[in-house]
Amino acid sequence: MTKTERASHVLQRLAELYPDPPVPLDHSDPFTLLIAVLLSAQCTDVRVNQITPRLFGELGRTPQALAAQPVAKIEAIVKPCGLGPQKAKAIQKLSQILIDEHGGQVPCDLDALERLPGVGHKTAQVVMAQSFGVPSFPVDTHIHRLAQRWKLTDGKNVTQTERDLKRLFPETAWNKLHLQIIFYGREFCSARGCDGTACEICTTLFPERKRALKTKKA
């Protein structure tokens, strides 16, 4: 198969497997999603979904509420997500910035989101895609790894992977597709569950592949 043919097969098969993929992080609005994605850095979505109900339930679920909280109080709750001090400071500070600069609302603007403390390119893109419906292709470790296994990119870094995937797939598919790849990676093509030679998509795309494929870390 050519790269274009592989991309077409991936798009079709993932649509069959995950026709309506949910956002894995529990949230109720752009702000709670922003906080949840921030907390998910180096942490599982399962753990984040265990922590956010307490965070929002005890301290509040708005920028106004969290900006008024001492950093130590936020940290005491988010500590199980890892990087507690940094994440707590970022949550308190970005909440205040949203009040001061954006009327207490999460801006629908990629550059403005990326300027917020603790919010990187991937986090900003998730919010743009899932809260505002703006075509985006956030690349996490699952997507970076699978894109290499499927030879849709040579995977030097997530920036290149994002650029390559955006060229291969139609913009209208980006928001759903990035979730579909994540779900497939977790269920069938995980780091331990497949080495490029075991799962359905890998074996369909590369039936002659016999050796494990080493992937480059993000």
The residues annotated with a catalytic role in the active site are 122, 140
CA angle (26, 192, 179) in 5-degree steps? 30
Sequence-ordered alpha helix ranges (H) in 79-118: 84-102, 110-114
Helix axes 174-187, 121-132, angle to 10 degrees: 110
Who contacts 177 (Cβ-Cβ below 8 Å, separation ≥6)?
A: 11, 14, 137, 169
- Residues 95-108 as b/e (b if ≥16 CB within 10 A, e otherwise) read bbebbeebeeebbe
